[in-house]
Chain A
Amino acid sequence: MMHTEFTVVEGDFANAGKASSEIKKTLKQLNIDNQKIKKIVVAVYEAEVNAIAHAYGGTIYVDLDEEKICVLIKDKGPGIPDIARAMEKGFSTASAKVREMGFGAGMGLPNIKNNVDELDIQTEVGVGTEIKMIVNFNS
């Protein structure tokens, strides 16, 4: 059992992806299957960018054991008013700055859903968002 935490900072696009990159290195060292690694790091990267782009930064908690990786991305951002809509392909409220960075297609959340085995999103307007995702290594 391994536990790691990362902090992500609002608007800090230069460092977006650092957490996902660290996770990728760790999983590679553990000889986890490449396809599984790609699934979790793509999902974490999307969530990391969302926390930087749409929320005010946050914290990423990673728990890893022999069977699975569990990643929780917690932010104290504005929350998501209509989660069903946010999950739709193409829905985005991204700012011009976020679009300039190459994001804002409205594909991040659907992409996360496609890549993970379990996804749980808790969100409250004005409070923040918690996204928990699990990828099993042996399924």
Chain B
Amino acid sequence: MKITDIVKILDAQVVVGGEDMNYSINHGFASDLMSDVLTLEEEHLILITGLCNNQTIRTAEMANISVILFVRNKQVSEDMIELALENDIIILSCKYSMFKTVGLLYENGLEPVY
């Protein structure tokens, strides 16, 4: 699924964009527990989370996760944006609940990690 498609499906906002917003992401993982995210072997997936702080970006950095999607209109701080830019991490934000967000993405063909 192209990042631009994800943005369309969720009526999402691009908080931090990347050079190529047309590349495809195959897998998604939803969690608010960072140590859970840090167990994943799968890389370059989209992390869907309601946890919105520096640690979310750091976790993505360590786990080689290229896209983070915040649900429920979370406010992304300047610090977080800076960290994301430094590490080439794309940040998206949408207004839907976690349940609706993952439902829509699954329905449209985004695959789970497990």
- Is B34 located at the chain interface by the 8 A CB criterion? yes
Residues of B36-56 whose CB lies within 8 A of A? 36, 38-39, 43, 51, 53-56
B contact residues, total (Cβ < 8 Å): 20
Interface secondary structure of B, over-half rule: helix
Chain B residues within 8 Å of A114, by CB: 39
- Please give the residue numbers on chain A whose beta carbons come within 8 Å of chain B beta carbons, in ascending order: 13-17, 20-21, 24, 34, 38, 41-42, 45-46, 49, 101-108, 111, 114
- Cα A17 to Cα B51 in complex, Å, equals 16
B103 to chain A, nearest CB (A): 23
Are A20 and B34 in contact, with the CB atoms below 8 A? no
Chain B residues within 8 Å of A105, by CB: 33, 35-36
Interface secondary structure of A, over-half rule: helix
Are B53 and A13 in contact, with the CB atoms below 8 A? yes
Are A102 and B61 in contact, with the CB atoms below 8 A? no
Are A111 and B61 in contact, with the CB atoms below 8 A? no
